[in-house]
Structure 1
Amino acid sequence: MHAPRPGPAGGDSSAAIALREVTKQFATEGPQPYTALRDLDIEVAPGEFCAVVGPTGCGKSTTLTLVAGLEQPSAGSVRVHGEEVSGITPGVGFMFQTDAILPWKTVLDNVSAGPRFRGVAKRTVLSEARDWIRRVGLAGFEDRYPHQLSGGMRKRVALAQNLINEPRILLMDEPFGALDVQTRAKMSDELLSLWELTRPAVVFVTHDLEEAIALADTVIVLTAGPAATVKARFAIDLPRPRVVQEVRFDRQFVDLYQQIWEALRTEVDRAYAQTTRLSEEAGA
């Protein structure tokens, strides 16, 4: 049996990411703020691949923005490598749901943009950028513009654009959600092979439970919002390296899926009931 892991036991100084009793509220038009997260405790070790799942509106994306320093917690603490997050967090890469590559720049210019902004010599940057473009399977496309690429190819550019900066932490907000099933599986395999090269700590947000289990070392289940928090944490002790399409047929994978879905299903049902009730109230 694969029992849920207990919550974090401390040790912020050795953690890549540590959120402690984090509450995040947003102002509303009414007198009361909206509480997206409440008393959230998450810890991610250096080199750990952590997937976060939960129903729509449970604060998964908000959790990423707190780690990145794009938002500040209303209460609690967010630490990255032992340092309190008080602004944009250095050493963090962020892949969004939609492409964040620049449409007026070529593949080579997009991938080299980060190091060039930091002042790395142009010759060195271009050599490294070409190497990363090769690693993501886009050799020969250096001079193409984003509109000349498929959706999967643009995601490869975004991966190279992040990994060339050698981030110690990589935040990924449903990065493959818009891709077709086959391309999504190929991108997942690509991500795992590239992650193995430098082993940053990864927080990967997804609605796809199969994707979460196939990729991660740990799967965290959040409760339904508002005031979402951690419900359960599961160790994914499937052997690496993994091939995403093949590992899904492993008996151990099926066992893990059943256990995690039992934890997740209740929260999905709660979120659906809340949405239905609000719709009925709005229509009354």
Structure 2
Amino acid sequence: MTDPLIELRDATKRFPGSGGGIHTAVAHLDLQVAAGEFVAVVGPTGCGKSTTLSLVSGLEPASSGRTLVHGKDVRGIPDGVGYMFQQDAVLPWKSVLDNVALGPRLRGATKAAAREQAAAWVTKVGLAGFEGYYPHQLSGGMRKRVALAQTLVNEPEIILMDEPFSALDVQTRQLMQDELLRVWSGTGAAVIFVTHDLEEAIVLADRVVVMTASPATVCGDFPVGLARPRAVEEVRLTAEFREIYREIWETLRDQVEAARAQGASRVA
């Protein structure tokens, strides 16, 4: 057994709540992710999935417990982390090429070298010919391709993705799922992918982690034994996919119902 690349040990995160109280977003969270592993995280709305990404990225420190990358406590943003948010960070005044080149430039690459790296990734995500376009000239799916290239151009060791495709229509979302699997394959990067869509989690991931209603902790960790490479639309039609879905949904449904009960009690 090799040591995990990412590890959360009994991690708890508290925030100031309304009315001067304390809100516990995640509690006693244990999670391990190996290098090259794709882990999807699902759970009820507002349960703390995004907070988990913040702990791994170093954007938020744990209130108690530990967050480790390469066996070392996270104190600030670790090297080699790429983060793709729900809302893209595409700069409207920069072209596609210059948006993707920004990361290498900030890491010290010359303008020529950064643009060369960016051009390669623009091609990899299927935007060859659009290098000189600006964000307002792109569709939502094309902007997501730019954001994906921005995330991967620095060749991160860890990729954190917070519902990156949730705003897309169904057809475009499926195309982006295939695109993500294609460009991630062979990189060796570990991925933690947060989503509300259980189907999306299964077609993408090696494991699906289910979180409880708030405060979140892990209540289920399910291997996804679907062969790679995967074509996401074909995978959804298989008996294996349906069986995995039923197994995970039994656990996830209980947590969704618990979250609804929590919300109803707060309103009452």
TM-score, structure 1 normalization: 0.92
> Once the two structures are superposed, what CA deviation does each residue of 1:61-115 show, in whole Å capped at 9, x if it has no partner?
0000110000000000000111210112221000000111111111011100011
> Is 1:189 aligned with 2:178?
yes
> Once the two structures are superposed, what CA deviation does each residue of 1:119-175 show, in whole Å capped at 9, x if it has no partner?
112222211111110111101111111111000000000111111100000000000
Q: Where does structure 1 differ by over 3 angstroms across 4 or more consecutive aligned residues?
A: 29-32
| Partner residue of 2:258 out of 255, 267, 270 | 270
SS in 2 for 1:21: strand
SS in 2 for 1:66: helix
Q: Which residue of 1 aligns with 2:137?
A: 148
Q: Which residue of 2 aligns with 1:132?
A: 121
| Partner residue of 1:159 out of 144, 148, 155 | 148
- Percent sequence identity is 59
> Is 1:202 aligned with 2:191?
yes
**Contact 2:49–2:216 (CA<8 Å) still a contact in 1?**
no
**For 2:254 and 2:158, how far apart are their aligned partners in 1?**
31
**Cα RMSD for the two superposed structures:** 1.1
**In terms of mean alpha carbon deviation, does 177-186 or 118-127 score higher?**
118-127
| Partner residue of 1:224 out of 173, 198, 213 | 213
TM superposition shift of 1:257: 0.2
**For 1:229 and 1:84, how far apart are their aligned partners in 2?**
20
Q: Which residue of 2 aligns with 1:39?
A: 28
Letter paired with 2:52: T
**Contact 2:236–2:242 (CA<8 Å) still a contact in 1?**
yes
Unaligned residue ranges in structure 2 (runs of 5+): none
> Is 1:30 aligned with 2:34?
no
Letter paired with 2:154: N
Matches within 5 A, 1:163-182: 163-182=152-171
**For 1:235 and 1:64, how far apart are their aligned partners in 2?**
20
TM superposition shift of 1:197: 3.3
TM superposition shift of 1:205: 0.2
SS in 1 for 2:9: strand
| Partner residue of 2:73 out of 84, 90, 107 | 84
> Is 1:75 aligned with 2:64?
yes
| Partner residue of 1:254 out of 219, 242, 253 | 242
Letter paired with 2:106: F
> Once the two structures are superposed, what CA deviation does each residue of 1:175-205 show, in whole Å capped at 9, x if it has no partner?
0000000000000000000000312100000
**For 2:263 and 2:68, how far apart are their aligned partners in 1?**
33
SS in 1 for 2:56: helix
Number of aligned positions between the proteins: 268
SS in 1 for 2:171: helix
**In terms of mean alpha carbon deviation, does 187-196 or 88-97 score higher?**
88-97
**Contact 2:81–2:159 (CA<8 Å) still a contact in 1?**
yes
Q: Which residue of 2 aligns with 1:4?
A: none
**In terms of mean alpha carbon deviation, does 76-85 or 205-214 score higher?**
76-85
SS in 2 for 1:158: helix
**In terms of mean alpha carbon deviation, does 119-128 or 168-177 score higher?**
119-128
**For 2:175 and 2:7, how far apart are their aligned partners in 1?**
31
TM superposition shift of 1:30: 3.4
Letter paired with 2:251: A
